[in-house]
Structure 1
Amino acid sequence: MLGYLQKVGRALMVPVATLPAAAILMGVGYWIDPDSWGAGNALAALLIKSGSAIIDHMAVLFAIGVAYGMSKDKDGAAALTGFVGFLVVTTLCSPAAVAMIQKIPVEQVPAAFGKIENQFVGIMVGILSAEMYNRFSHVELPKALSFFSGRRLVPILVSFLMIVVAFILMYVWPVIFGGLVSFGEHIQKLGSVGAGIYAFFNRLLIPVGLHHALNSVFWFDVAGINDIPKFLGGAQSIANGSGIPGITGRYQAGFFPIMMFGLPGAALAIYHCARPENRVKVGSIMLAAAFAAFFTGITEPLEFSFMFVAPVLYVIHAVLTGISVFIAASMQWIAGFGFSAGLVDMVLSSRNPLAVHWWMLIPQGLVFFVLYYVVFRFTIRKFNLLTPGRELAAGDETDGYDVNVDHSDNGESQTESLARRYIGAVGGSENLTAIDACITRLRLNVKDSAQVNEGVAKRLGASGVIRLNKQSVQIIVGTQAESIASAMKAVLTKGPVAAAASAAAAPVPAATAQPQAVMNSGTQVVATLLAPVSGEVVALENVPDEAFASKAVGEGLAIKPTGSTVVAPAAGTVVKIFSTNHAFCLETENGVEIVVHMGLDTVALEGKGFTRLIEEGATVTAGQPVLEMDLAFLNASARSMISPVVVSNSDDFAGLTLLAGGSVVAGVTPLYEVKN
């Protein structure tokens, strides 16, 4: 789960990178015209509106950015899919649409739907769109519908999926939103302690966009608190008795030390913890984000930079925010804001008679600057958190090669474009001497395996690179291996392909993947796999093949066959049978992708010893025969008949629980459970 969140966090850096510029534009605009926010100054209006065009549409930027960033090939079609999905969900869940669908007046639509365009919905849509793109972007439709094949199919499928998502949100969203409003009404009775609790949850709910519900209770007139309007009323609020010096503004004051000082301290810690080669890039992002937080109080550029890649830091940030607001409320150090808790609003609020001892928030902020810096730096280094700049070079362009370049507009198919980039990753056509494939891997002969750029290969979607020797390399790409290999051969007929980078520019050490224990955690069994062949169980790490033993292909077990019939280990669809009939891939209805690979290097036998009993695309039941083997011939001819049975997308699930050991019977003995 943490690995998946880090993947989401890295994808979020695409849209987050646009936020500091927007925050600075708005901050300068508010500084020029602090009283009327652009109404009295054309330049201020231009800057504020330019910045708000980005900030106000943060949710849709997240949908687009996450869909693009989490797509396997970083294609623009994935970004379009995220945009389409967001439009469908937010349109169907808008107050007018909800009123029409549920046959009620607009006035009776829950207030929650007025806040449906939030970060949570954007991120959720982005994730779902990316998953749909990764699964269906290579689907080929019948010839009559071929125009809608591949990438064009995905937005259509996502549109239908988002109808279901919107229907669920129509009933779930108001309950969650209303529950938070009720929660806020209760904790406001706790005084300064309640202010601290509110601030803690205010930060904690930002990732899912539900902080608006809580803010409405404390900042506006949902439960009678109305903290912001009362504070902005100043002398008038004091005169009519609604504003109380030292009390009014306590749900705002403690945010100033955090936004102006604490988060910039965190930014400095993240910068100092970045790898030396990444500090220039990280420094520019952190400097802009820290300035935005200090000057305007816009913190999303900073918070979203570590929120998902290091969730523990975000929880620490929420706790420290709660403490800061509690201290300011207890000591009655009060300042308020009309926009956010930055320098602009602090200066403006200093003239407000309800701002009591507001200057004490500055020394409090200096303390929190040090506190944030020390705590963040210690935590990042102690737990080796992958904050910006600490991750390995995935997604970096320092190797001089852009994996996002798509050559499909030159008449190449998407697969050929991907194949061209894989050729570049292995050192270009000059380094490549032979191309072959197995069911999940490219088997390549090269002049010098040191020229293979593992980082680029993994950015293209490979799960592992195995260097067998100086001239032989295997790249684990999943069940697309055969089609990619064919496309690589086709691309080479068109002319030479340049290398991604020289070995000197981007050296990559030999693969040293260590066997990892199969996880046994999980809460729900999504599939139970039966033995596909009778024989003796062999632990995956003992398989004499580095790709399987290192679990680069996936988690699972292996079997040394004693029987000759190979059956389906679970019910599902046979999505791939290799042309030499030595391996097949099965996908269950729950999305578990199972690779059954009979023997090692049996692809070299060119189909001898194997008989196919069903065709690719067939729907099978657990235990249904798929292959028949001439076991005597295979035992005499194959390098080894130890046969891996792995889940190629095991990273998508909580783990596998091993059930078998010793002898197993085909179609009868459970091998392992896949849990979610």
Structure 2
Amino acid sequence: MSILGYLQKVGRALMVPVATLPAAAILMGVGYWIDPVGWGGDSALAAFFIKSGSAIIDNMSVLFAIGVAYGMSKDKDGAAALTGFVGFLVLTTLCSPAAVSMIQKIPLDQVPAAFGKINNQFVGILVGIISAELYNRFSSVELPKALSFFSGRRLVPILTSFLMILVAFILMYIWPVIFDGLVSFGEQIQKLGSVGAGVYAFFNRLLIPVGLHHALNSVFWFDVAGINDIPNFLGGAQSIAAGKATVGITGMYQAGFFPIMMFGLPGAALAIYHCARPENKAKVLGIMMAGAFAAFFTGITEPLEFSFMFVAPVLYVIHAVLTGISVFIAATMHWIAGFGFSAGLVDMVLSSRNPLAVSWYMLIPQGLVFFVIYYTVFRFTITKFNLMTPGRELSGAGEEGDGQDVNVATSNGKDIDAALMARQYIGAVGGSANLTGIDACITRLRLTVKDSSLVNESLAKRLGASGVIRLSKTSVQIIVGFAAEKIANAMRTTGDVPAAPANGNSAPAAAPAAKPQATPNASAAVKVSLVSPITGDVVALEDVPDEAFASKAVGDGVAVRPTGKTVVSPANGTVVKIFNTNHAFCLETDEGAEIVVHMGIDTVALNGQGFKRLVEEGATVKAGDPVLELDLDYLNANARSMISPVVVSNIDDFGGLAIAASGKVVAGESKLYDIKGK
């Protein structure tokens, strides 16, 4: 998996904890509105709301650890979330000031200040990722009988605890260096005046994904370098009288955030909503409206920022640049307002009463301009580069947030109920009692069973499967089409299902039986021609060392033994699916043909090693456009076979194939075969 692909996976996982942040923003906003001066000190009701919201905000780092571990786990099991929580507790406890003092045998007052900031988003995300990877790798490990109680999911929190000891040891040495480096950097840009204010704001936003913006904030807001912007602003007249604040200067590191929080990010939210697919707009509207309201009213921006910072990093960099420009403009023009909580409407109203505020009302027209800029730039960038912001995923082709949306999937153009299909296929393979392992490749369920003879092949085909392959007594593959991953996900969360009766009558068919594959019709017109997706040598489909392909259960076509490293699109169309291990992809051509390009045999077992994704799901491609890149030396050494089938999975909708290639072919140039119309 590419770095961008992995970041997008992290971003989807982050939507789990981020979904709690709008509630926190609304609760705190109501509290500040009730008691705008005392912030709960003068109103028990306001304190009730503020403390309820801050319970979420103050524990955001641990929510990230739990949510990322859960969201990135292979089966979305609660044990993964528990693992993230355990790992976070161990790491932050070992790196707390008291523990560092004890472990390193130094007085508590000599412990570096950086360890007081160890409880941050960076640590939460780091722990979540490590916990998820450990869970995915070790949650199915079986220990010897004497230790069997600690097998599987119970083993993972134990392993995580020990690994966090090592991570904590490393952080004890590198965390102070990172933190102190940012403080020194902040002290240098302080000397640049309004330009420095813009630079600070840029890095303030840029560092939020890893939680290190606190180090910069401590320089510019909390007197580490003698600036003390927020306390001075809150002090108002007293700070002026004491000579600790300067009208027109104090607040310059805060004022320019108001146009971004109150106007710019809501503009981005509107652009994301307008760019969502029609079927997803209702869902995206709720998320974006809540995030936009939180940003405008309270200045809490995490619900919006985390919705795109990982799935579309380029947008987040643009956001950081625009924030820097806004703060620079406000500091240069001496349009000054400050905040005690964040740059939302509540703080702007409160700031207007402060004697340090200068032309604060000019931040409103500046904000309106930035609303237009954000909307225009975000919408152009999303559509121009086909960024997968919330709501732009293809239906049935990916996950959003918690990965639990398995109600509807798409299989060769037919909508199916994946939850129902999951129960029916479990019944067809002998029920839950016979099923011991569930996996999926791009078009097939890869199942481990106790006894493959109990699999009801006729029932599976009546459910819509185009083939059932018994590889061994305990291994079965069922060809179900592009919905394989969706059905597999649903099977993992389905409760106990009994075996279907031998006649299979208890499980009504959810899809028509697969039609016989069409025989070639020499007189039919060519519907679409495919070029070879890879440079190499043509191999007849019957000679592919995989029964599912060789029997044409997956579809009709040919195969190529690759000698080149770049895999291209064989026709004009849309990449509707790229398997998460990047070893295969599905292309729907402009004419409706569904092409499966499967690089190698059993290469799913390599877990993505040797494959690099060059486009994302939903991309529109032309014949010859690069889709994947291969590490061919690694793959030839580690794959069972690199013979790569290129098949039409819905060939029954056409009039057959006319094979046009033999011998050597060149990627994107040599014709592979013609698909004929009926």
How far is 1:438 from its partner? 4.2
Residue 184 in structure 1 maps to residue 186 in structure 2? yes
Instruction: Look up the SS of the partner of 2:329 in the other structure.
Output: helix
More displaced 10-residue stretch of structure 1: 434-443 or 254-263:
434-443
Is the 1:64–1:126 Cα contact (8 Å) retained in structure 2? yes
Q: Which amino acid in the other structure matches residue 290 of structure 2?
A: A
Residue 51 in structure 1 maps to residue 25 in structure 2? no
Q: Which amino acid in the other structure matches residue 121 of structure 1?
A: V
Counterpart Cα distance in 1 of 2:293 and 2:279? 23
How far is 1:117 from its partner? 1.2
Q: Which residue in 2 is equivalent to 1:453?
A: 483
Residues 43-83 of structure 1 deviation map (CA, whole Å, 9 limit, x = unaligned): 11111111111111111111111111111111111111111
How far is 1:444 from its partner? 2.3
Is the 1:541–1:548 Cα contact (8 Å) retained in structure 2? no
Aligned with residue 253 of structure 2, among 251, 255, 269: 251
Is the 1:416–1:491 Cα contact (8 Å) retained in structure 2? no
Residue 431 in structure 1 maps to residue 433 in structure 2? no
Q: Which residue in 2 is equivalent to 1:87?
A: 89
Residue 77 in structure 1 maps to residue 92 in structure 2? no
Is the 1:419–1:488 Cα contact (8 Å) retained in structure 2? no
For structure 1, the residue ranges without an aligned partner over 5 or more in a row are 463-483, 505-511, 519-536, 561-592, 596-641, 672-676
Counterpart Cα distance in 1 of 2:530 and 2:161? 40
Q: Which residue in 2 is equivalent to 1:238?
A: 240
Is the 2:255–2:330 Cα contact (8 Å) retained in structure 1? yes
Counterpart Cα distance in 1 of 2:549 and 2:229? 61
Counterpart Cα distance in 2 of 1:257 and 1:501? 57
How far is 1:515 from its partner? 7.7
Q: Which residue in 2 is equivalent to 1:444?
A: 478
Q: Which amino acid in the other structure matches residue 649 of structure 1?
A: L
Counterpart Cα distance in 2 of 1:155 and 1:97? 21
Q: Which amino acid in the other structure matches residue 56 of structure 1?
A: D
Instruction: Look up the SS of the partner of 1:352 in the other structure.
Output: coil
Q: Which residue in 1 is equivalent to 2:368?
A: 366
Is the 1:453–1:500 Cα contact (8 Å) retained in structure 2? no
How far is 1:501 from its partner? 10
Aligned with residue 649 of structure 1, among 597, 606, 616: 606
Q: Which amino acid in the other structure matches residue 486 of structure 2?
A: V
Counterpart Cα distance in 2 of 1:127 and 1:643? 29
Aligned with residue 658 of structure 1, among 605, 622, 632: 632
Residue 286 in structure 1 maps to residue 288 in structure 2? yes
How far is 1:347 from its partner? 0.1
Residues 565-610 of structure 1 deviation map (CA, whole Å, 9 limit, x = unaligned): xxxxxxxxxxxxxxxxxxxxxxxxxxxx9x9xxxxxxxxxxxxxxx
Counterpart Cα distance in 1 of 2:105 and 2:483? 59
Q: Which amino acid in the other structure matches residue 142 of structure 1?
A: P
Q: Which residue in 2 is equivalent to 1:611?
A: none
TM-score (norm 2): 0.69
TM-score (norm 1): 0.69
Counterpart Cα distance in 2 of 1:414 and 1:156? 30
Q: Which residue in 2 is equivalent to 1:322?
A: 324
Aligned with residue 35 of structure 1, among 15, 34, 37: 37
Q: Structure 1's 461 and 63: CA in aligned 2 closer, same or farther, altered over 3 A?
A: farther
Q: Which amino acid in the other structure matches residue 254 of structure 1?
A: G
Q: Which residue in 2 is equivalent to 1:639?
A: none
Counterpart Cα distance in 2 of 1:491 and 1:184? 66
Q: Structure 1's 109 and 559: CA in aligned 2 closer, same or farther, altered over 3 A?
A: same
> What RMSD over aligned residues (CA atoms) do the two structures have, in Å?
4.3
Q: Residues 297-312 of structure 1: matches in 2 within 5 Å?
A: 297-312=299-314
Aligned with residue 173 of structure 1, among 169, 175, 179: 175
How far is 1:144 from its partner? 1.0
Residue 343 in structure 1 maps to residue 339 in structure 2? no
Is the 1:558–1:645 Cα contact (8 Å) retained in structure 2? no
Residues 246-301 of structure 1 deviation map (CA, whole Å, 9 limit, x = unaligned): 10000000000000000000000001111111111110011001000000000001
Is the 1:453–1:503 Cα contact (8 Å) retained in structure 2? no
How far is 1:124 from its partner? 1.0
Is the 1:328–1:334 Cα contact (8 Å) retained in structure 2? yes
Counterpart Cα distance in 2 of 1:151 and 1:94? 28
Residues 192-251 of structure 1 deviation map (CA, whole Å, 9 limit, x = unaligned): 000000000000000011000000000111000111111111111111222111100000
Aligned with residue 209 of structure 1, among 208, 211, 235: 211
Q: Which amino acid in the other structure matches residue 478 of structure 2?
A: L
How far is 1:360 from its partner? 0.1
Instruction: Look up the SS of the partner of 2:181 in the other structure.
Output: helix
How far is 1:459 from its partner? 4.3
How far is 1:140 from its partner? 0.8
Counterpart Cα distance in 1 of 2:296 and 2:24? 14
Aligned with residue 132 of structure 1, among 120, 131, 134: 134
Q: Percent identity, aligned pairs only?
A: 69
Q: Structure 1's 344 and 232: CA in aligned 2 closer, same or farther, altered over 3 A?
A: same
Instruction: Look up the SS of the partner of 2:477 in the other structure.
Output: strand
For structure 2, the residue ranges without an aligned partner over 5 or more in a row are 409-416, 448-454, 513-528, 564-580, 584-598, 613-629, 643-678
Q: Which residue in 1 is equivalent to 2:279?
A: 277
Is the 1:259–1:341 Cα contact (8 Å) retained in structure 2? yes
Q: Structure 1's 415 and 105: CA in aligned 2 closer, same or farther, altered over 3 A?
A: farther
- Number of aligned pairs? 525
Q: Which residue in 2 is equivalent to 1:356?
A: 358
Q: Structure 1's 385 and 539: CA in aligned 2 closer, same or farther, altered over 3 A?
A: farther
